[in-house]
Every structure is written in C-alpha cells, then in structure tokens.
Homo-oligomer: A and B are copies of this chain.
C-alpha cells in the first residue's frame, strides 16, 4: 500500500493504474475509519481493480462552532485499517495541499440541500460537494463509494454528478449498525458510556416509524409524532429534526405513498447523531 499527501503523486499513481486498464474506486473519507468505512472499502475492492481511500478532514464543510478542531484524527490506526483491507493507495493531503489559496470556486447544489441537515448546517453541503469535485478531479475514479447513513449527502452527490456530467458512478452502500442498532459513526466516540447505552433509541424510533407505514399509516404528522415520542424516552436527547421526505426532492411529504425516507438528527451530549431508513409504503 502506498501513501501520499501530494496531488502530483496521487495523480501519477492513478494515471498508471488507468493506463494499465484498471477500474479505479475512490472511498472519500474524513478518516477515523470504522466498520462503516470498511464496508465501503470492501465494496470498492469487490467492484474495482485499484482502490484509493482519501483521508481528509475538510475544513470547508464545517461551520463555525462545529467540531473541526476536535474531529478525531487517528492517522496511524486509519493507515493500518486501510492496509488490512486491500487498499492500493491512501491519499492524505493537508489542508494547504487542497486549498493552497483562498478558495473562490464553489460547487453548490440548490433545492435538495435546504431541508434536513441543510437547515442547521448552512454551507455544509457546499463544502462537501466542492471537496468531492476536487477529489474526483484529482483521482479520476470510475466509481466513488458513499454510505447510506449520510442519506442527504449521497442524494446531493448523485445529483451533482448527474447535473455536471461527471464521468463516474456513485455507489451508495447500506448503513452499518452496531449490534444494538446504533448507526456506526466517527462521532459516536463523543458519547459517554451512559449516552452510548441510550443512543440506540434513534434507530428504535425509526423502526417504529417503518412499522407504522408498513401497517398502513398515511399521515406523516402521526408517524413523526410517534418517532418523537420514542426518542423522548431519553430526555437529554434534543431532536433537531424528524422528517418524512421524498427520497429524490428531499421535500417533506404531505401524504405517505411510494417510497419515503425517514431521517432523524439529534443532539446528544457532545455528539450530533443522524440516521435514516428508506421505507416502501407499498402504496402508489
């Protein structure tokens, strides 16, 4: 496994792989790798001949007061995980390599970035889409791999790729969960032991929402109220949003039909946790 922090070098290596006819897979990450990331790396290794993992805590996607400074950076551990899972190249630039001058150019997806996490994190998705564009232009992957846990991110990136005719495939892999249902996240380590034991209530609430819809519920307000009540069993958990949205437009649905994305964000201690389930109502 090779490791580089420079754009010149990663470009040389991926150009060689491309010239050798290899299919290149990119797993863009902010490091602090966990089993969710490993599932993306494994998917990339299964579908591609040459796997690139980027480790870059992207300042442009953090807002003021967010956890950019505290975000975990267990660099050696991340490299070891990559080494154990068949990664060919790790790209780990420092911020000045990615943003050597004031960044004036932004890739922005309108509309679908307004709801859900876009509400409380203005500028976040603009930072994500801009850094992904940069990484795609640097690596030229044939496919890039994202997790369904960040459902809005995956939908926004798919739309960006389609709108801008980016020549790559976006692969979205299922959310990986702990045994008790908690979605795996780098930010789970911000939780105290007590909080960690209570955190699975988010997924329990989502499952309750799924059951209601599969049992015929059509009123999103009723489902939302129920989800909020389940989460409310952990009083210290502050709900940021519980939303039932169209999985393409990400707009709140007025009546449940077709497939609905139920998405939740909560603040819990020092952590902000998000999770979601896609539910097929079975009704047109």
Contact = CB atoms under 8 A, between A and B. Distances in A.
Interface of A: 7, 11, 101-112, 129-130, 133-134, 137-138, 140, 159-160, 162-167
A44 B165 CA distance: 23
Interface centre among A7, A129, A164, A167 (most CB of B within 10 A): A164
Contacts of A129: 105
B167 A137 contact: yes
Which 4 pairs from chain A and chain B are nearest by CB?
A105-B163, A137-B165, A104-B110, A105-B160
Contact of A108 (B108, B112, B159, B166): B108
Nearest to A168: B137
B11 A167 contact: yes
A7 B105 contact: no
**Looking at chain A's contact residues, is the secondary structure mostly helix, strand, loop, or mixed?**
mixed
Given A164-B137, A165-B134, A105 B105 contact: no
Interface centre among A102, A130, A166 (most CB of B within 10 A): A166
A159 B105 CA distance: 8
Contacts of A164: 105, 107, 130, 133-134, 137
A111 B108 CA distance: 16
Contacts of A112: 104
A106 B160 CA distance: 9
A129 B105 CA distance: 10
A121 to B, nearest CB: 18
A104 B159 contact: yes
A59 to B, nearest CB: 15
